Copies of this chain bind each other. A is one copy, B any other.
Amino acid sequence: MRLPTIALTSALVLAIASAHAERPVYPFTTQARFDSTAVPAYAGRHDAVYAHIDAQQDAHIAQLQRWVRQRSISAENDGIDAMADLLAEDLRGLGFQEVRRVETPGHPGVLGHYDAGAPVTLVVYMMYDVQPVEPNWRIADPFAGELVDHEFGTVLMARGAMNQKGPQRAFLNAVASMLAVDGTLPVNLYVVAEGEEELGSPNFGAVLAPWRERLRAADGAFFPMLVQSAAGDAQLNLGVKGIIYFELEARGGARGGPTRAEIHGSFKSLVDAPALRLVQAIASLTSADGNTVAIPGYYEAVTPPTEAEQSLVNALAADVDDAALQRSLGVERWVDGLTGREAIVRNLWEPTLNIDGLWSGYTGEGMKTILPHVATAKLDSRLPPGLEPDAAYAMIRAHLDAGGFRDIVLRPLSGYPAASTAADTPLVQAAIGVFNKYGVKARVAPWLAGSAPFYQFTRTLDLPFVFGGLGHGWGAHGPDEYMLIRPAEGVGAAGLAEVEKSYVDLLHALAEGARAQ
């Protein structure tokens, strides 16, 4: 009197899917803790350059203001051309022997080369675009480039002040002072700049392409970034996760469901429901709590922690404050009640599956009884080193197909792999040595749980890559974005002059490190 066929089939499929939802355990083979303070502080002194920087502070601040006053909102194509030209002119003005604008299908890039005849060459990455602005700032004009009195001191409050024009132009100020005093630089520089970072860097490969082989011959790549808290603490992340971002969609079609538009909900007994199909398809991707990815092979692809990475994690775990981060996010607990080292490992070595957005049918007040003809979700998956975007997409597609979800459309929107640089590379050691010179203890993480297309440096160019440095800012992508210029009494973070000096030190540390080897 019963027809259990459908039921048993679906149970079987779900059981098979879930049987693969096994998360690897990574036993730690070392309890060693990486100690950033054990890296020798950079000992060089470049007093004439430091004095020039101090003497030129008003002019240097004016250069930062000049940059943030030039609008360059990539999403709105607002000021992009002018900012690309301004950057190129600044490089020429500094004495870069080669400067070229690179046209792309999107916004142009800028390449510059300063050949100092030095044995060491550094690639400096710059993004000249900024995020759009909402009318929710405490200042009248986010592009006025005003100096503002702030609880932490005098800040430059403007769109781009922190992300990323402030530290980038500060780097060029340091270069200007070195050239003014020394007449040359201790290293050769390439500047590689794009105007689409805030759009996900879709054409950055095309920007690099003309000089790709020249750039691959360099010794490292650097992205000037303010990574100090106001108190002065710093976290140096040696990489990023990769990401795939995609849409899943269910629509009515030949296999059933409404094809043209929504229909009355009372037809559900006769008509397949795309929204229920989408829900089932997404559900097949994770465990019931949503926290374990059920895609066969997904966890296995990840490269387990090396002993060097384990020692970084051991050090991070020693003084991690989960509760503080939870409070800042408005989260009461991590998944499975994790804390400490387990949470760090999960965060860095676990590929994620996340719903960014989900929509179908009627989403207004009250009741409307319809059977929608289409349902769509946006998902992202963060990829630790080892799990490649193409492989991730292929595994998701194969898992959907194996679960009977061939009708679900998978629409890739983006995908790039992780990037990471080992802590023992000369570039990272030089960066930590500079932190130590200024008494800043750097917490060093193997990578961020967040994503950026930094594989362009570590893989396309095959270079060690550091993004970080002294200095403090806040408000990237939000209102009241600022960079700290002159710290108030008792504020630990570096001000502009010290940031610039630290860049001088970094270039010399790289040159001296190469000589020492």
Contacts and interface: CB of A to CB of B under 8 A. Distances in A.
Interface of A: 1-4, 6-11, 13-15, 18-25, 27, 200, 241, 243, 245, 252-261, 263-273, 275-277, 279-280, 282-284, 286-292, 294, 329-335, 338, 343, 346-348, 350, 352-364, 366-373, 375-376, 378, 380, 382, 403-404, 413-414, 448-451
Contact of A6 (B1, B21, B279, B369): B21
B259 A330 contact: yes
Contact of A332 (B254, B277, B280): B254
A284 to B, nearest CB: 8
B11 A255 contact: no
A368 to B, nearest CB: 6
Contacts of A7: 18-22, 287, 292, 294
Contacts of A364: 357
Given A11-B14, A266-B448, A333 B256 contact: yes
A343 B269 CA distance: 9
Given A331-B252, A357-B362, A15 B15 contact: yes
B279 A279 contact: yes
A267 B325 CA distance: 11
Contacts of A259: 330-332
Contact of A270 (B20, B243, B283, B343): B343
Contacts of A265: 352, 354, 356, 380, 382
Contacts of A334: 256, 270-271
Contacts of A338: 270
A269 B11 contact: no
Contact of A382 (B245, B258, B268, B450): B268
Nearest to A351: B269
Nearest to A322: B270
Contacts of A283: 279-280, 282-284
A19 B25 contact: no
Contact of A290 (B261, B280, B352): B280
B245 A369 contact: yes
Given A268-B353, A280-B288, A361 B332 contact: no
Contacts of A291: 6, 272-273, 276
Contacts of A367: 200, 245, 356, 378, 380, 413-414
Given A252-B331, A276-B282, A243 B287 contact: no
Nearest to A345: B269
Nearest to A381: B268
A22 B10 CA distance: 11
A330 B303 CA distance: 49
Contacts of A23: 2-3, 6
A465 to B, nearest CB: 19
B266 A290 contact: no
Contacts of A20: 7
Nearest to A405: B288
A306 B284 CA distance: 40
A357 B357 contact: no
Nearest to A276: B290
B368 A258 contact: no
16 contacts: A7-B294, A14-B14, A256-B332, A256-B335, A265-B382, A267-B329, A268-B352, A269-B352, A269-B382, A270-B334, A270-B347, A272-B289, A273-B355, A276-B282, A289-B404, A358-B360
Contacts of A360: 355, 357-359
A126 to B, nearest CB: 22
A357 B258 CA distance: 15
Contacts of A268: 352-354, 382
